[in-house]
Amino acid sequence: MDPNKITHHQFIILVMLFTIGSNILDAPFVITNVANQSGWLAGILGWGVGILLVWLYSTVAQQFPKQTFIEYSQAVLGKALGNALNLFYVIYYFFLSSVMVGLIISFLNLQILPRTPMEVIGISFLLIAITGVHYGLGVIGRSAEIFFPWISTFLCLMFILLLPQINLSHLTPILDGGVRPIFRAAFTFLGLPFLELPIFLMIIPYVDNQKHIKKCFLLGTLLGGLVLVSTIFLCILVLGAQLTSLNQYPSYQLGKEISIGNFIQRIEVMVAIIWILTIFYKLSICLFVTSHGLSKLLHLKEQRSVLLPLILIISVITRIISPNQSFYDQFIRYYWAPASLPIGLGIPLLLLIVGRLRKKSIAL
Amino acid sequence: MINCIIVISASLIGYIEIPHLIKVKAKMDLIVFSLLLLFGLILNLLYYNGVHIPNPLDFIKFLTKPLSEWLYRLL
Amino acid sequence: MFKLKNKSPDNKPISQQDHPVYPDLQKNIHKVKHDLGESSDLVVRTFHLAGQTQITIGLLYIDGLIDQTAVQEFVLGSLMTKLQNTFKDKKINKQHLYDFIKESVLTISSVKDLQGFNDLYAHLLSGDAILLIDEHPNGMAAGIRAWEDRGVTETSSQNVIRGPKEAFSETLRTNTTLVRRRIKDPNLWIKTQQIGERTKTDIAVMYIKGVADENVIKEVHRRLDNIEIDAILESGYIEELIQDKTLTPFPTIFNSERPDSIAAGLLEGRVAIFVDGTPFVLMVPALFVQFLQSSEDYYQRADISTLLRILRYITLLMSLLVPSMYIALTTFHQEMIPTPLLISLASQREATPFPAFIEALIMEFTFEILREAGIRLPKAIGSAISIVGALVIGESAVQAGLISPAMVIVVSLTAISSFVTPAFNMAISIRMIRFPFMLLAASFGLYGIIGGLILLVMHLCSLSSFGVPYMAPFGPHVKQDQKDAILRVPQWKMITRPHLFKRETERQDQTNRHHSKMRSQRKGERT
């Protein structure tokens, strides 16, 4: 039995967790920063375009069933160009893993464990994720299935318990800054989860039911996007755009706001659990794709041979790439989406077009 | 102290993986593993000894700056 | 016969060297006596066949392993008295005599030819009577085994309020009978083999042909055949030797002393392994959920059982996490405790000298000692332990200011919750994992607990029992098996067998579907 085999049910959950992971932390803050109280409109717009993008990715994947991204980009674009793109692809997700570790470190350090050294948090988190990757994608998928009911229960509970705190006047005035900030915010939002989703081009070949890939991929993104958009919406409704854009972790703040009677209060730990879990799965998927991609690219016999050195490298790269919070915030806000465009739009389009042309020329 | 920890953890990683890699006779794996381990070791040693390492994100920033400025002006 | 001799190497120790039975009776008896070291429970009786002084017959058996009355009546009685006039003044051919005795005289259902001394010993020591005829190079074994056993008694470790009370006993045959009586299906097959160089313990593999997965059956036989050990004294030996993964605290093989629970498992398509000499029967494949189910769940009404199951899952989490949660909250996240509670906790903790982790460790450790002592102690002193536990540990430790009262509550809650789990081996695994979790909580707070949980769940998901993923039907999610995992839906809704035990192979599926249809017809019978 291939340890990397997953079911389509697990695939949906992984897509959803990947979409939610980390972005539930920074998306509300980044979006309201640009679009203020109209941020939710930007969220919906970004969500819609994101789904179109996912449609593109799954079309690409269906064109080359049973092959990973690394394999078919070589086949379609030739060895040299294909390998260059593959290297770029692997490095991109290597950096994404480092960013994930950086996020969890700064969140835990600021909010939960102020006295624990950052390195210890980062390395312990990496070790857990590496254990998952070592067990294989199958175990990651199955454990995600077990945690999924918890995550969704906590999310629903959070949304429901926040309803009494809603203040509709936070939404007005609508569109006071014109449409342009909404487009900008939507573009930034696009980069936060949706342009990263080509990562699943490496995972799709391991899904058992290839027929429903498109449906599953779209469903996962749809649900994940729904969670993100509703979080943004609730942040604006409960905290107001001003507070959301000033707060480092607005959705954590949301958890702190919950107070029903005198007994349900201070349940932000629930939110923290959702985050740690979702970021964990995002990191595991990134690490899986990084190590798997690397071993495919270099024709290694075993994937595990690159895993442990990766801990050493990522733990220090994490510290290097976010020397301070403001640098990181600025990068996420202005540069992440454009930097993701080649991965999220350029390469899939290229593969789709060249693939189609090749197929046609073969048919002729 | 910190150097000691870094070197020990790197050699621990080597100790865990290298015998296995030799056993399965994966030559390419061994090379890639050693290179990555060496890279990680040097990077850690440099960083924790106060050597300034250029931030790779700065480089990405520099590359995407024209694109992002153009895009955000467009939107 | 002679081939056998040629095959056996001569340099082996006496007990393993095979040798055909000698034609000379005295030589045979001498050899048996010598090989058994003149053991006092060996009974040797030589007698003449029905007044024919020229024909000597030797009877050998082990005292205590055979049925005395059967020997008197069916062996000695038949041979010495009932044949009084048959052989009068006739010339007797020994081979003819041998066949005649075997086929017409012995009124015993199981009579077998002996293949040599090893075979003789195997039969003799299993409780068969051995008959040797002088001047004939063969012997026979008459099956009249009977020995003292405990009989079928009430369950001692897996109790139920409603449901059958009988439990397996130490005798293999009794145990298989108990299951056979519940499933009167010709497809209920039993395959027996002996394992253990010295103990030659009987192991029976039982399954329902056509319901159990062929691959699992094959795998069970393959693993059993690979065992090389000198002794099997309990099913625990087998369990450890055939489990999928050794490096795990979790049991991947189910055991039960309840015939009804084994029968239910067989009907679901599992394979049972009976070991002679123990009331605990093994069953594979075993899933995590199985260890949280009691056979009573199916005898009580569905709603009650569902509630009880949910309770068990909660208590499982509690016995795992309550001490570590307490440590994490009091050490790292005081802000998460409601203020009035925090004040009262803080005032309690002020008086105690130890940090929460040490306090919890001491108390958990003490409880483990009490629990272990409670099992080992003679029953008469059992009450003394509870007094010591309740008074000394509970009251005095608090009054002496060593332990905070809240910690006593935490520990007793954990202790009681861990006893709710129906399977003892699962409860003990959870108790074991509790300590690393406390350590994680003491060093990383809630983050440590969540990290530990992620690792634990991933480890559980990586396990499998005879090819079936351990955490099914949760991970992988199997929609049709959710009916009998956390929930226990009414009997009339349990239409299909567990989906897990069959893979998407061959036509085995067809047979199963047929069976499940038959099963669903019970709904029709009722209405």
ipTM for this prediction: 0.94
Percent of chain A with pLDDT over 70: 98
| Residue A334 clears pLDDT 80, i.e. is over it | yes
Locus of tokens 């390419």: B28
Q: How far is C476 from chain A (nearest CA, A)?
A: 5
Residues of B in contact with A315 (CB under 8 A): 44
pLDDT for C507:
32
Q: How far is A264 from chain C (nearest CA, A)?
A: 9
- Average pLDDT over every residue of A145-173: 90
Q: A312 Cβ partners below 8 Å, 6+ apart? A: B9, B10, B13, B37, B40, B41, B43, B44
Alpha helices in C136-234 (DSSP H): 172-180, 214-225
pLDDT for A280:
95
pLDDT for C258:
93
Q: What's the CA gap between C258 and C265, in Å, rounded? A: 11
Among the listed residues C252, C269, C284, the one whose alpha carbon sits nearest the alpha carbon of residue C501? C269
Residues of B in contact with A93 (CB under 8 A): none
C-beta separation of C429 from C292 below 8 A:
no
Specify which residues C465 forms β-bridges with: C468
Q: Which residue has the higher pLDDT, B53 or A1?
A: B53
Residues of A in contact with C477 (CB under 8 A): 7, 9-10, 145
- CB count within 10 Å of CB C151 equals 10
Q: What's the CA gap between A69 and A343, in Å, rounded? A: 12
Touching status, chains B and A (3+ beta-carbon pairs under 8 Å) = yes
* CB nearest to A124's CB, from C336, C338, C451: C451
* CB nearest to B24's CB, from A301, A308, A339: A301
pLDDT for A129:
95
Cα nearest neighbour of C336 on chain A: A266
Q: How confident is the model at residue A364 (pLDDT cuts 50, 70, 90)?
A: low
- Chains within contact range of chain B (3+ C-beta pairs < 8 Å): A
Specify which residues C400 forms β-bridges with: none
- Angle at which helices A268-297 and A137-162 cross, to 10°: 150
- CB count within 10 Å of CB C123 equals 23
Burial C452-488 (b: 16+ CB within 10 A, else e): bbbbbbbbbbbbbbbbbbbbbbbbbbbeebebbbeeb
Give the A-side interface with B, CB within 8 Å.
95, 180, 183-184, 187, 294, 298-302, 304-306, 308-313, 315-317, 319-321, 323, 327, 331, 334-335, 337-339, 341
- CB count within 10 Å of CB C87 equals 17
Q: Where are the domains of chain A?
A: 8-363
CB contact under 8 A, A266 and C474: no
Cα-flanking dihedrals φ and ψ of residue C209, to 5°?
-60, 135
CB contact under 8 A, C455 and A128: yes
CB contact under 8 A, A313 and B43: yes
Q: What's the CA gap between C132 and C46, in Å, rounded? A: 9
Among the listed residues C331, C317, C522, the one whose alpha carbon sits nearest the alpha carbon of residue C434? C317
| Residue A32 clears pLDDT 90, i.e. is over it | no
- Average pLDDT over every residue of A317-338: 84
pLDDT for A226:
94
Among the listed residues C456, C308, C341, the one whose alpha carbon sits nearest the alpha carbon of residue C409? C341
pLDDT for C511:
42
Q: How many Cα atoms sit within 13 Å of C389 on the Cβ side?
A: 20
Ranked by mean pLDDT, the top range of A28-32, A70-74, A221-225, B57-61 is A221-225
DSSP state of C281: E
Six token digits for residue C461: 């998901």
| Residue B58 clears pLDDT 60, i.e. is over it | yes
* Amino acid at site A353: I
Which CATH homologous superfamily contains domain A8-363? Hydantoin permease (1.10.4160.10)
pLDDT for C86:
66
Touching status, chains C and A (3+ beta-carbon pairs under 8 Å) = yes
pLDDT for A1:
59
67-126 in A: which are within 8 Å (CB) of C? 108, 112-113, 116, 121, 124-125
* CB nearest to B53's CB, from A95, A320, A327: A320
CB contact under 8 A, A131 and C458: yes
| Residue B56 clears pLDDT 50, i.e. is over it | yes
SS3 C469: strand
Residues of B in contact with A319 (CB under 8 A): 47
User: Does the CB of A263 have a partner CB in chain C at under 8 Å?
Assistant: yes
Q: How confident is the model at residue A128 (pLDDT cuts 50, 70, 90)?
A: very high
Among A108, A115, A123, A139, most C C-beta atoms within 10 A, so best to mutate, is A139
Least confident of A50-54, A91-95, C55-59, C92-96: C92-96
Q: What is the DSSP string of A177-221?
A: T-SHHHHHHHHHHHHTTGGGGGGGGGTGGGBS-GGGHHHHHHHHH
Which H/E stretch holds residue C273? Answer: strand C271-275
Six token digits for residue C185: 């299906």
- CB count within 10 Å of CB A202 equals 24
pLDDT for C85:
64
Residues of B in contact with A341 (CB under 8 A): 67
Q: What share of chain A is helix, strand, coil (3-state, %, to 5)?
A: 85, 0, 15
Cα-flanking dihedrals φ and ψ of residue B31, to 5°?
-65, -50
11-70 in B: which are within 8 Å (CB) of A? 13, 16-17, 21, 24, 26, 28-30, 32-33, 36-37, 39-41, 43-44, 47-48, 53, 55-57, 60-61, 63-65, 67-68
On average, the pLDDT of chain A sits at 89
Q: How confident is the model at residue A332 (pLDDT cuts 50, 70, 90)?
A: confident
Strand order in the sheet with C201-208: C188-195, C201-208, C271-275, C281-284, C254-256
- Chains within contact range of chain C (3+ C-beta pairs < 8 Å): A
Residues of C in contact with A272 (CB under 8 A): 446
Cα nearest neighbour of A323 on chain B: B55
Q: C262 Cβ partners below 8 Å, 6+ apart? A: C179, C256, C272, C281, C283
pLDDT for C514:
43
CB contact under 8 A, A116 and C455: no
C-beta separation of A119 from A105 below 8 A:
no
| Residue A243 clears pLDDT 50, i.e. is over it | yes
Q: What's the CA gap between A82 and A115, in Å, rounded? A: 46
- Average pLDDT over every residue of A74-99: 91
pLDDT for C28:
87
Q: What's the CA gap between A42 and C170, in Å, rounded? A: 72
| Residue A57 clears pLDDT 90, i.e. is over it | yes
* CB nearest to A184's CB, from B16, B53, B75: B75
Among the listed residues C458, C473, C467, C441, the one whose alpha carbon sits nearest the alpha carbon of residue C248? C458
DSSP state of C22: P
pLDDT for C103:
82
Q: What's the CA gap between A305 and B17, in Å, rounded? A: 7
CB contact under 8 A, C336 and A266: yes
Query: CA dist C102 to A113, B70, C438, Å?
Result: 84, 104, 70
DSSP state of C492: G
CB contact under 8 A, A320 and B16: no
pLDDT along chain C (527 residues), means of 10: 37 58 86 89 85 81 88 83 66 77 82 85 88 83 83 86 91 92 93 91 92 90 93 93 91 94 91 94 93 92 93 94 93 83 86 88 88 82 76 79 88 90 92 94 92 95 91 86 87 77 41 44 37
